[in-house]
Amino acid sequence: MEVYSVYIIAALILVSAVVLSKFLFGWVLIREDQVGHVVKKLSSTQLPQGRIVALNGEAGYQARTLPPGLHFWLWPWMYRIDKRPVVTIEPGKIGLVVAKDGNALPSDRILALRVGCDNFQDAVAFLSNGGQRGKQSAVLTTGMYRINLVLFDVFKSEVTSVPPDKVGILTALDGASMPRGQMAAPAVEGHKNYQEPELFIANGGCRGLQEQIILAGQYNLNPWFVEVRLADLYEVPIGHVGVVVSFVGSDEKDISGETFTHGNIVPRGGKGVWSEPLYPGKHPLNTECMRVELVPTTNIVLNWANARSEAHKLDEKLSTITVRSRDGFTFNLDVSQIINIGATKAPWVISRVGSVKNLVNQVLEPLVGNYFRNSAQNYTVLDFLSARSDRQREAREHISKAILEYDVQSVDSLIGDITPPVALMDTLIARKIAEEQKKTYEAERLAQETRKTLEAEKALAEKQRELVNEEQNILIAQRKAQATVRQAEGDSTAIATRASGEADAIRRRGTAEAEIISVKGENEGRAIQAIGLARAEAARKGVEAMGEYYGLLQIFTSLADKGIRLTPDVLVSGGANGSASASDALVALLANQLAKK
C-alpha cells in the first residue's frame, strides 16, 4: 500500500512539473503529420477591417504556422494552438486553392495570379507578396503540404487525362477579351499546354474557345481556368482526302491565283481553305473551329436513273432525263457519268462549290441534263436507238471539256436505257413484224425451190445409184475371174516348186548319206588299222617276254573267249622220268584259269 502511494505521489509531482513548466515556458509539441495554427489572444493592436489573418502580431489567427517539433514561449494565457492535419494530394489528383484573405482581385479577372509562397505553405510570403483573395490560378500537385487552413481552403480535383485516340478542345475562362470577329482565341506560347495560367494571361491569351488543342497525355489543368471537351481524332478513310476549311488562323496570302475568284486557298494553318489536303489516316483537329470536307479520290459513278443509285448517295436526287427529239417525240434517257477528282485539285473544287454534293447537284446535274436535252433536238428517236455509240461519244467529248473548268476530270459518259414513245414503238414493231414476215415468205419460197431441186437430185441420185451398182457388179465379176486365173497360176507354180524342192531334197539326202558312209568306212579302217598295229606291237612285246609260250597263250585265250574247254579242271602228268616240268605246270595252270573264265 505504501508503494502504490509513492507511485501516485510521484505521478502527481510529474504532472504538476509538466503543467508548471508549460505555464512557465509556454512549450507546445507538434507532430510530423500536424500543422500548428496559432491564435493570439491578447494584443495591443487589432486586425485591419476586412482581414482575417494577422500578419504583424495582431490579435487573432496568425499567418505564421508551427512546423513539427517543440516550441516555447507560447503561454496558454497568451496563445491558443490549433493542431490540424497536413494537406495530402494523392496521385491522379490536384489541389485547388481558395485564399480567404489578401488583396482584392481586379474586376476583369477570375483567378488570382501566382505569387511566391512555397506552394501556399508560407502564408506570410503570400500576403506580403501581394497574394489575392479568391480562387488561385496555381494548383497543388501530388504530395504533402503544411498549409495554413485558416487562410486557405483546399479542394481536390482529377488530373485531366486525354486518351490516345482523342484530343482536348479547351475553353479558357480567364484572360483578355476575344478579338472582334474571331470565333476562337489565337494560340499563344509559353503556358505549358495551359498548365501555367498566369503565363497564358501574361502572354496575351484570350478567354473563350481556344484554337490550340492538347494531344494525348495527362495535364495538371485548373478546372477554374479551362474547360476541356474530349473529341475524336478526325479520320480520313482510304480512297478519300479531307479538305480543311479553317475559320481561324493567320491571315495568309491567297495562293489560288488571280484567275481563281471562287474563294481563298491558303497554306496549312491559315484562315480559309487549306491548299494541302489531309490524306487517309487519323488527324488531330479542332473541329469546333474547322470543317473537313471529305472528297472521294476514286472514280465516282453518278446515275441519272429513277431506279438506281450508288452507295455514296451523291446521286440520290438525280432522275431519268426526259428529252424531245427532232421529229417531235418525247422519250426518256438513263445516263451514267463517271468523274474523278484528283487529290491535289480537291481544295480548289471545295473552294469553288463547297462540297462534292454541291458539285453534283449544282454543276453536274444541270450540265449533263441540259446537254442531252439540247442535243436530242438535233436527232430523231431512231438516231438514238440505232446510233447509240455515236451519241455516247459526242456526249463524252462535250461533258469532258465542260467539267474540266471545275477542276474535275470526266472518265466516261454512258447512255443506258432509252425509252421511246409507245405509239412509235408500236409502229416500229409492226414494221419490224412485216419485214420479218416478208423475210419468212421469201425464206419459204426459197425452201420450196430448194425442195424441188432436192427431189430432182434425189431421183437422179437413185438412177445413179443403180448405174453404180451395175458397174460395181461387172467390176466384181472381172476381179473374181482375175482372182481365179491368178489362183490357178499360183497352184501350178506351187506344184512345180514343190517337185523341184523334193528332187533337190532327195539328191541332197543321197549325197549326205554317201558322205556319211565314206567317212564311217574311213574311220573304221583307221580304227582296225590302229587295233592291228596295237595287237602286233603287243604280240611282239609278248614274244619278247614269253618266247614260244606266247603263241600258246594266244590260242588258249581265243578258245576261252569261245567257251571251249579242252582239259579237266586239274591235270597232272609226269614226264618220262615220272615228273612234270615247270613249263608244263604253268601251261596247265593257265589252261585251268582260262577255262574258268
| pLDDT at 396 (0 to 100) | 93
Work out the pLDDT band at 206, boundaries 50, 70, 90.
very high
Per the prediction, the chain carries an average pLDDT of 84
Q: Is the pLDDT of residue 4 over 70?
A: no
Q: How far is CA 240 from CA 232, 303, 446, 486, in A?
A: 18, 20, 65, 97
> 449 by DSSP, 3-state: which?
helix
Task: Tell me the pTM.
Answer: 0.63
User: What would you report as the CA-atom Rg of the chain, rounded to the nearest whole angstrom?
Assistant: 71
Q: Name 156's bridge partners.
A: 95
| Dist. CA 245–CA 270, nearest whole Å | 9
Percent of the chain with pLDDT over 90: 47
Q: Is the pLDDT of residue 299 over 80?
A: yes
> DSSP letter at 179?
P
Tally: H helices and E strands in the chain: 11, 25
Half-sphere exposure of 387 (CA within 13 A, CB side): 11
pLDDT tens figures, 92-149 = 999 999 999 999 999 889 999 999 999 999 999 999 999 999 999 999 999 999 999 9
pLDDT tens figures, 316-338 = 889 999 999 888 888 888 999 99
Q: Is 5 left (phi over 0), alpha (psi -120 to 50) or beta?
A: alpha
| pLDDT at 289 (0 to 100) | 93
Work out the pLDDT band at 574, boundaries 50, 70, 90.
very low
Helix (H) or strand (E) holding 183: none
Percent of the chain with pLDDT over 70: 85
The cell numbers describing 531, all together, are: 587295233
Highest mean pLDDT of the ranges 21-30, 357-366, 546-555, 581-590: 357-366
| pLDDT at 578 (0 to 100) | 43
| pLDDT at 496 (0 to 100) | 72
pLDDT tens figures, 173-197 = 999 999 888 899 999 999 999 999 9
Work out the pLDDT band at 580, boundaries 50, 70, 90.
very low
Work out the pLDDT band at 313, boundaries 50, 70, 90.
confident
> 512 by DSSP, 3-state: which?
helix
Q: How far is CA 590 from CA 3, 78, 596, in A?
A: 173, 188, 10
| pLDDT at 575 (0 to 100) | 43
Work out the pLDDT band at 560, boundaries 50, 70, 90.
low
Q: Name the amino acid, one letter, at 56.
A: N
Q: Give the orientation angle of helix 422-546 with respect to helix 549-562, to 10 degrees.
A: 130
pLDDT tens figures, 409-464 = 999 999 988 887 776 666 667 777 888 888 888 888 888 888 888 887 787 777 77
CB 95 within 8 A of CB 119: no
Q: Give the orientation angle of helix 549-562 with respect to helix 582-596, to 10 degrees.
A: 20
Q: Is the pLDDT of residue 302 over 70?
A: yes
| Dist. CA 65–CA 28, nearest whole Å | 12
> 357 by DSSP, 3-state: which?
helix
Higher pLDDT, 273 or 249: 273
- Phi, psi of 185, rounded to the nearest 5 degrees: -70, 135
| Dist. CA 201–CA 233, nearest whole Å | 28
| Dist. CA 76–CA 26, nearest whole Å | 7
Higher pLDDT, 442 or 23: 442
Average pLDDT in the 200-221 region? Answer: 95
| Dist. CA 302–CA 335, nearest whole Å | 8
Q: Is the pLDDT of residue 360 over 90?
A: yes
In CATH, which superfamily holds the domain spanning 296-421? Band 7 domain (3.30.479.30)
How many CB atoms lie under 10 A from the CB of residue 501?
A: 10
| pLDDT at 104 (0 to 100) | 92
| Dist. CA 368–CA 370, nearest whole Å | 6
| pLDDT at 386 (0 to 100) | 81
How many CB atoms lie under 10 A from the CB of residue 521?
A: 10
Bridge-based pairing state of the strands 272-274 and 240-246: antiparallel
pLDDT tens figures, 36-91 = 999 998 887 888 888 899 998 899 999 999 999 999 988 888 899 999 999 999 99
Complete edge-to-edge strand list for the sheet that includes strand 265-266: 265-266, 272-274, 240-246, 290-296
pLDDT tens figures, 476-534 = 877 887 877 778 777 777 777 777 777 777 777 777 777 777 777 777 777 777 777 77
Higher pLDDT, 168 or 588: 168
Alpha helices in 547-581 (DSSP H): 549-562
Domain ranges of the chain: 20-157, 159-232, 296-421, 422-488, 549-596
Helix (H) or strand (E) holding 262: none
Q: Is the pLDDT of residue 556 over 60?
A: yes
CB 289 within 8 A of CB 247: yes
Cell 445409184 belongs to which residue? Answer: 465
Beta strands in 26-101 (DSSP E): 28-30, 34-40, 60-66, 69-71, 79-85, 87-89, 93-99
- Phi, psi of 277, rounded to the nearest 5 degrees: -75, 165
What b/e readout covers 284-307, taking b as 16+ CB neighbours within 10 angstroms?
A: ebbebbbebbbbbbeebbbbbbee
The cell numbers describing 117, all together, are: 509562397
